[in-house]
Amino acid sequence: MGAAVIIRLLNVNSTYQITWVLLFFALMTAQAVELLPEYVVRAWHFESDSLDIPADVVIIGRETIENSAAPSLPDLLQTEANLVFRSFNGKGNKGEVAMRGFGEGSGLRVLILVDGIKVNRADMSNVEWQQFSLRDIESVEVLRGGNNVLYGNHALSGVIKITTRKGGESRSSFSAFTGSYGYRNFDASQSGNIGDFYYRLSVNDQQDEGYRDQSLSDSRGGKFNLGYFLGEDDELNTSFAYNEGYVEFPGPLTLPEFEDDPQQSQIGQESSESENYRQTFSWLAQRVWGEFKLHGGYNRRDLIWDLDGIYGDNEQQGFSFTPKFKFGDEESSLIYGFDVLYDTIDFLSYTDQSRQYVKADAALARSTSGVYVFAEHELTTRSQISGGVRYERATTDYDYRKYDESQLEPYDQILTDPFNPNPNFKNPADLVVADSYKDDLAKDGWAGELSLNYRLTDDFSIRVGYDRVYRYPVLDEVAAYQGFPLSKPLNADLEPEEGDNFEIGVKYLNQHWEASATFFYLTMDNEIAYDDTIQLNTNIGATCRLGADLMVRYTAKSWGASSQWSIVDARLQYGAVAGNRVPLVSEFNIVSQAWVAPIEDLRVSLSMNYTGGRYVGGDYDNSGSLLPSYVTFDSQVAYDFKQYSKLFVRVNNLLDHQYVSTAYQGGYYPAAGRSLIVGLSVGF
């Protein structure tokens, strides 16, 4: 409640003035403060040396985040990890992430963890990235490929692990950014320690009017983290985060409209308002027999939206409890864990924007439980074998009631006289039996993994691996309850996705050079997609993806360069469309960077992003033309004028290239044009 009060005080009208007052205060005090000694938080992890990890991993550390003026986490991930984000509003804050050649619904195949807690929604909605302030993130770890054994559902094509900042080091920090199209962002935090306790309090306020008409978004939130060292071998930590946001959707354009003016909007105002609350708890421990890690958490999102003539209130809650044990030593170890997850959705649909009459309501709940074991063993001093299995079961209760709309209102609104009684009025109204349902469905799945890693030299390793992957359909893939009709309101025949992933990878790492290459072949037996001809999400049949993820990086004292390539040939393998490309998937995605530090405290960087041509969403026949490939450039200058203090100037889409972020048949969603961001970050 306290965080919510603080956030509401930081209203949009006052944020601009507060930002510049704090900037002035920070500049005046930055020269005179006395730096306090560092306080290092102790923590234990199950991770190993990068060359010994049998997976494709990209780690974005605190230094990289501090050196970036990226406006959102998706912008950072695109530049630093070569991830693809498709957006309906031209900004990353509502973008859908894609890995390993998935098109529509790609975000459903990527697991998002925040401090060990799943934040993926139980429905098809994307993660609200704007609730995660970059200044409050310690690190981001990106794992490409199947990781279902250790992480469970959603981890079919990858995992994004976000670790937020914790207390310990006594420090205050402020940052403020402003830029094109009404963009401004403000962060403030205070951290410290008292004996064996450590804490961190942070607040964030962001607003962006957007490149397109009717694409305003704003977000304000706060987080409090508290930790405690229980002796030398145990660490307890809990955090409370609250965020509220608003997003407008400018809608699609036809191709002529896009070519004439990509900034326009051709629809009435469509928007959503949300409140997000997240509480996490962790217990990390070391014992004689090994290590122990427990994560527990609670997520809640209240969403109110007006979209395409549908007026809905969506309340989602998620509970998780995920203990993990590691037995053994560096030569041989066994990980055992189990996950218990419980997700609920309560939905109300209204006749109009006044939200006076409920025309449908739904109550859905999914209980998921999984158990897994994972073992690692050194065959020799340079070779290691690892593998594991997971079994998981999900039970879902579906309850949806649709009412006869002609009976809802007591007065006949069609006639001129507004007080004329409605002869069909009933309270309660009759159910539309054909569209209503109540049922319980249970699905189960299993995952397996086997990898062999061989360290040829101290700097070079090679690995081969196999993963059995799966994903459960989310609730509104199975059932129609949010106002978007399906030909079968409850599709009990929709089965979980299953597939087999094969990988060969090499890694090289020394003082200046880092390089990796992963070659993969992923086959899916029953991939889920929407079939427009029958208006139903179905198991469309077999698909395959053959590709590679490549990376090379050189880092010197005063300059550096890197290039990351994602190459994938994603094909359909069923029926009349066998051999066709998967829509929305480009064969090449590339990000390359170069930076130089002409003087010790100045860093100038330039990045290039390339996305190849791809078919629009829904074009399984490949009968339409490809969306054209595009290249964009971003540049940034960062100046460290004092320890923990930086000035930033950033230009996104430097050449103001007009391109489409995503498209579905007949509808194009433009990406943002050139934008300028300037900012200041001060810590003391």
pLDDT tens per residue across span 445-489: 899 999 999 999 999 999 999 999 999 999 999 999 998 889 999
pLDDT at 415: 57
What is the DSSP track for 47-61?
A: ---GGG-SSEEEEE-
Work out the mean pLDDT of the chain and round it to a whole number.
89
Sign of the dihedral through C-alpha 110, 115, 117, 121: negative
Give per-residue burial for 533-568: e unless 16+ CB within 10 Å, then b.
eeebbbbbbbbbbbbebbbbbeeeeeebbbbbbbbb
Encode pLDDT of 511-545 as tens digits.
Answer: 999 999 999 999 999 999 998 889 999 999 999 99
pLDDT at 288: 93
Encode pLDDT of 195-241 as tens digits.
Answer: 999 999 999 999 999 999 999 999 999 999 999 999 999 999 999 99
The answer, yes or no, to whether residue 373 has pLDDT greater than 70, is yes
Q: What Å distances lie between residue 613 and 384, 529, 550, 660, 667, CA to CA? A: 40, 21, 19, 11, 17
The answer, yes or no, to whether residue 4 has pLDDT greater than 80, is no
The answer, yes or no, to whether residue 75 has pLDDT greater than 60, is yes
Encode pLDDT of 12-38 as tens digits.
Answer: 333 333 333 334 333 333 333 333 333
Q: Using alpha carbons, select from 569, 552, 570 the residue that is nearest to residue 561.
A: 552
pLDDT at 29: 36
Encode pLDDT of 576-624 as tens digits.
Answer: 999 999 999 999 999 999 999 999 899 999 999 999 999 999 999 999 9
d(CA 468, CA 514): 29
Sign of the dihedral through C-alpha 627, 112, 175, 606: negative
Q: Using alpha carbons, select from 641, 531, 632, 640 the residue that is nearest to residue 583.
A: 531
Cβ–Cβ under 8 Å, residues 664 and 109: no
**What phi-psi label fits residue 579: left (phi over 0), alpha (psi between -120 and 50 degrees) or beta?**
left
d(CA 164, CA 300): 18
Q: What is the pTM for the complete model shown?
A: 0.91
pLDDT at 665: 85
Candidate from 91-95, 132-136, 341-345, 372-376 with smallest mean pLDDT: 91-95
**What phi-psi label fits residue 235: left (phi over 0), alpha (psi between -120 and 50 degrees) or beta?**
beta
For residues 436 and 49, the model is more confident at: 436
| H helix or E strand, kind and range, residue 71 | none
The answer, yes or no, to whether residue 45 has pLDDT greater than 70, is no
Q: Using alpha carbons, select from 499, 393, 451, 494 the residue that is nearest to residue 155.
A: 499
d(CA 343, CA 369): 12
Encode pLDDT of 140-177 as tens digits.
Answer: 999 999 999 999 999 999 999 999 999 888 889 999 99
d(CA 391, CA 159): 19
Cβ–Cβ under 8 Å, residues 224 and 201: yes
Cβ–Cβ under 8 Å, residues 374 and 465: no
List all residues 6 or more positions away from 259 whose beta carbon is below 8 Å from its beta carbon.
none
Q: Using alpha carbons, select from 630, 510, 525 the residue that is nearest to residue 573.
A: 525
Q: Using alpha carbons, select from 572, 511, 527, 521 the residue that is nearest to residue 549.
A: 521
Cβ–Cβ under 8 Å, residues 169 and 80: no
pLDDT at 602: 95
| H helix or E strand, kind and range, residue 15 | helix 12-30
Rounded mean pLDDT of 183-206? 95
The answer, yes or no, to whether residue 130 has pLDDT greater than 70, is yes
**Two tokens at 55?**
């997976």
| H helix or E strand, kind and range, residue 200 | strand 197-208
Cβ–Cβ under 8 Å, residues 296 and 278: no
| H helix or E strand, kind and range, residue 149 | helix 148-151
User: What is the CB neighbour count within 10 angstroms for residue 445?
Assistant: 22
d(CA 422, CA 357): 14
Encode pLDDT of 387-431 as tens digits.
Answer: 999 999 999 999 999 999 999 988 876 655 667 888 889 989 999
pLDDT at 2: 40
Encode pLDDT of 624-678 as tens digits.
Answer: 989 999 999 999 999 998 888 999 999 999 999 999 999 998 899 999 999 999 9
Model confidence at 183, in pLDDT bands (50, 70, 90)?
very high
538-542: long-range contacts, CB 8 A cutoff, minimum separation 24: 538/491, 538/494, 539/494, 539/495, 539/497, 540/572, 540/574, 541/572, 541/573, 541/574, 541/575, 542/572, 542/573, 542/574
Cβ–Cβ under 8 Å, residues 264 and 672: no
Model confidence at 8, in pLDDT bands (50, 70, 90)?
very low
List all residues 6 or more positions away from 309 whose beta carbon is below 8 Å from its beta carbon.
none
Three-class SS state of 354: coil
The answer, yes or no, to whether residue 40 has pLDDT greater than 50, is no
Q: Using alpha carbons, select from 424, 427, 367 the residue that is nearest to residue 397.
A: 367
In angstroms, how far is CA 509 from the centroid of its own chain?
A: 28
The domains found in the chain, sorted by start residue, are: 2-683 (2.40.170.20)
